[in-house]
Each structure stands twice: as structure tokens, then as C-alpha cells.
Amino acid sequence: MHAIVENYFNLDVLGRYYPSILAGYVVTVEVALLTIALGVGIGLTLAILRCLRLRVLNAIIVIYVDVFRSLPQLVVIVFVYFALPYAGVSLSPFAATVLSLAAVLSAFATEAFWAAILALPQGQWDAARSLGLGFLGTLFLVVLPQAVRIAIPLLANRAISITKGTALGTAVSLPEVLGQAESVMAIAANPSPLTLAAALYLCFFVPLVVASRWLEQRQGFAR
């Protein structure tokens, strides 16, 4: 027991290095929240654009969705950070990680919102049009509120899974919590910083998991 405490709960090590780990935690939270906001926002926008039924636009969106659903998150991050500079676009590790994870999440979000839109009965469209609403009025006032309600519980778990990819930002030197903990662990020759990093991950992701479960149950009761 003493060896476990000494190696994984060493208060002396944690007391010396916790500021850098907390700084990494702030970066992790910022990346995760921006990823969710951008990914869900872009996904909803692309699903709305698909409703226009423009063949060329739909083909582009489908290709975008299929590509980013297929690529590993790490590959996307490395490509955005190391390859885009050759095209004259240089991004910081923070921006590259956020945009990469948001692109992956937006692909899944697009499919979730589009599937929810298609799941609504055609009668919803017909009833709204019979009341005098145009296409956009029907879409934004009748269809989307119901589709979002259906899609969000389905999307919550995927968003949590993808935002855990913030740890992959270490590949491009993002100073997130896991990377900071690993650096400190190497300096201190003690794995206690990883214990703190794990606890901080739980502090952020457990509430998200609980919220996603609540959304799923609420949607189930609504049905």
C-alpha cells in the first residue's frame, strides 16, 4: 500500500507540479468545448443544406461526411498541422486540434441530424405547408425543432467520444492535460501526475456522460 501511495498519490510531487497540470486541464476544457460547439454547429448547418436537395451540393457534403467519418482523428490532426503550411495555411497546435476534431464531429453530427430529419413523417411537412408556411418556415419552425430533439441524445455519446481526442493534440505539441502530466512525470520520475490528470478528466467528462444519459432517458420518456 505504501508503494502505491508513493508512486501514484505522492502529495509532494503533486504539490510541486499541479499548476502546470491545471494549466493543461484548462486547455483541454477549452478544446473540448470549442470542438463540440463547432462540430455540432457545422453538422447542423450541413444537414440543413442537404434539405435544399441540390445534387452537386449534396454530393460534396456526402464526400465530406464519408471522408471525415473514415479517417482516424490523429491522422486529421497531423495532416492539418503539418500539411496545410505547404498550402500557405499555418495553424497553432490549439487551432489545428480544435478544427480537426470539429471536422470529425461535424461529419457524425451531419448524419445524426439528417437521419433525424428523414425520420420525421412526411405529414409534418404537408401539414405545415397546408397552413401556409413556405419551405424555410416549415423547415425552421416545424421540422428542425423536432429533428434536433431526436438527434441530440444520439449525438451526445459521439461528441463525448470525439472530444476525448483532445489527448491526441500532444502529437502536435498541444499543452493539454495529458501531455503536461506526461512531461511532469518524466521530470519527477513519478507517475502521480497521471493520477491527477485522470481525476481531472473524470471531473470534466463524468458530468457530460451523466447529461447524455439524462437526454437519452428524457427522449425515451417523450416517445
Q: What is the pLDDT of residues 36-48, one digit of tens each?
A: 999 999 999 999 9
Using the predicted structure, report yes or no on whether residue 221 has a pLDDT greater than 50: no
The three cell numbers locating residue 50: 442537404
End-to-end C-alpha distance for the chain, whole angstroms: 50
Domains annotated on the chain, with CATH: 15-222 (1.10.3720.10)
Across 143-166, average pLDDT: 86
Q: What are the pLDDT digits (tens) for 117-147? A: 998 888 888 888 888 888 888 888 888 988 9
Which of helix, strand or coil describes residue 134?
Answer: coil
Across 194-211, average pLDDT: 87
Compute the 3-state secondary structure of the chain and give helix, strand, coil in percent, each to the nearest 5.
85, 0, 15
Dist CA 5 CA 69 (whole Å): 42
Q: Between the ranges 16-30, 177-191, 205-219, where is the mean pLDDT highest?
A: 16-30
- What is the predicted pLDDT for the residue at 43? 95
Across 203-222, average pLDDT: 76
